[in-house]
Amino acid sequence: MTQKDMAYQLIDAIFPFAEMNSYEDNNTDDREENAKDAACDCVIQFQKRLDYIFTNEADRQCEFDWWEGIKKEIQTIKYKP
């Protein structure tokens, strides 16, 4: 699975639960941004726990970098449900 595929998979899983916070204020649907923010938060929480999964620093850093790439993909995706 590519980083882009994983980014889409995370957003797909979260989007149905994303709230539309600003629709009443300015008639915009901000669910995409809310889902992307939540997906990035998930990646950050996972990255924080890599020390418990990997004892080898090189493996941990490789995995951290891979998830960092996913976080960047999440931020650049134009999501269409």
pLDDT of residue 79: 78
pTM above 0.85, yes or no: no
Return per-residue pLDDT of the chain as tens, 81 residues: 999 999 999 999 999 888 766 555 555 567 888 899 999 999 999 999 998 899 899 999 999 999 999 999 999 998 776
Distant-in-sequence, close-in-space partners of 20: CB < 8 Å, separation ≥ 6 = 29, 30, 31, 34
